[in-house]
Amino acid sequence: MEQGFYPKRCTSSGLAETIASIEQVLTEILVRVPAKPLVRFKCVSKHWLSLISDPKFCHRHTLQNPNPPVSAVFCDKSNRIFCFIPIDFDHLRGACSTSINTSNHEIQNPSPSSSPPFNPLKFAQNQYHADIKIIQSCNGLFLCRLLYSPKQGPPYFIFNPTTNQFSTLIPPATGEGVQPCVISIALAFDPSKSPHYKVVCLRTIDGSIDGTIYHIVIYSSETQSWRILNSTFKRVSSILYSRVLYWNGAINWLGFFNDVAYFHVDEERDGFVRLPPHLYDRLNESRKYRYFLESSDGHHLHLIDIFRHSLTKFEVLEMGKDYSGWFVKYVVDLDPICRRLTPSERYVVLFIDQDKNEEEESSYLLLHTPGKLISYNLKCGTYKSFELTPKAGVKNHLLRVEPSNFRYMESLAFV
Question: Which comes out higher in pLDDT, residue 364 or 20?
Answer: 364
**Helix pair angle (46-53, 12-30), 10° resolution:** 60
Query: Read out DSSP for 39-84?
Result: HHHTTS-HHHHHHHH-HHHHHHHHHHSSSPPEEEEEESB-BSB--E
Q: Cβ–Cβ contacts within 10 Å for residue 168, how many? A: 13
| Range in 9-23, 205-219, 300-314 with the lowest mean pLDDT | 9-23
Distance CA 245, CA 243 (A): 7
Which H/E stretch holds residue 25? helix 12-30
160-184 tens-digit pLDDT: 988 888 888 988 876 666 666 888 9
User: What are residue 303's DSSP bridge partners?
Assistant: 292, 317
Mean of the per-residue pLDDT values for the chain?
79
Mean local confidence (pLDDT), 196-215: 81
Percentage of residues in the chain having pLDDT higher than 90: 28
Distance CA 310, CA 319 (A): 23
Which H/E stretch holds residue 354? strand 348-355
Cβ–Cβ < 8 Å for 138, 408: no
Measured CA angle at 328 (ends 326, 329), to 5 deg:
110
pLDDT at residue 393 in the model:
65
Helix residue ranges, H only, 83-229: 89-95, 122-128
Spatial strand order of the sheet with 326-333 comes to 287-294, 301-307, 313-319, 326-333
Cβ–Cβ < 8 Å for 366, 93: no
Going by their DSSP bridges, the two strands 383-387 and 107-110 should be labelled as: parallel
Mean local confidence (pLDDT), 403-409: 91
Q: Is the pLDDT reported for residue 269 higher than 70?
A: yes
| Range in 9-13, 208-212, 231-235, 406-410 with the lowest mean pLDDT | 9-13
The class (CATH top level) of 66-409 is mainly beta
Which H/E stretch holds residue 37? helix 35-41
Mean local confidence (pLDDT), 306-319: 90
Task: Give the predicted TM-score (pTM) of the model.
Answer: 0.83
Cβ–Cβ < 8 Å for 374, 385: yes
pLDDT at residue 278 in the model:
56
Cβ–Cβ < 8 Å for 219, 199: yes
pLDDT at residue 1 in the model:
45
Using pLDDT thresholds of 50, 70 and 90, give the confidence band for residue 136. Answer: very high
227-255 tens-digit pLDDT: 999 888 888 888 989 889 999 999 999 99
The percent of the chain in helix, strand and coil, each rounded to the nearest 5, is 15, 40, 45
Handedness of CA 243, 246, 251, 252 (dihedral sign): negative
| Sequence-separated (6 or more) residues with CB below 8 Å from residue 266 | 249
Cβ–Cβ < 8 Å for 406, 360: no
The CA-based dihedral angle spanning residues 375, 378, 379, 381, taken in that order and rounded to the nearest 10 degrees:
60
Question: Residue ranges per domain, the chain?
Answer: 12-65, 66-409
Q: How many helices and strands, by DSSP H and E, does the chain display?
A: 7, 24
| Sequence-separated (6 or more) residues with CB below 8 Å from residue 107 | 95, 98, 100, 384, 385
User: What are residue 399's DSSP bridge partners?
Assistant: none
Q: How far is CA 141 from the centre of its chain?
A: 7
Using pLDDT thresholds of 50, 70 and 90, give the confidence band for residue 125. Answer: low
Distance CA 134, CA 72 (A): 14
Percentage of residues in the chain having pLDDT higher than 70: 73
Cβ–Cβ < 8 Å for 219, 226: yes
pLDDT at residue 276 in the model:
66
Using pLDDT thresholds of 50, 70 and 90, give the confidence band for residue 188. Answer: very high
Using pLDDT thresholds of 50, 70 and 90, give the confidence band for residue 140. Answer: very high
SS3 260: strand
Mean local confidence (pLDDT), 289-307: 90
69-121 tens-digit pLDDT: 888 898 887 765 668 888 876 655 554 433 333 333 333 333 333 344 456 56
Q: Is the pLDDT reported for residue 346 higher than 90?
A: no
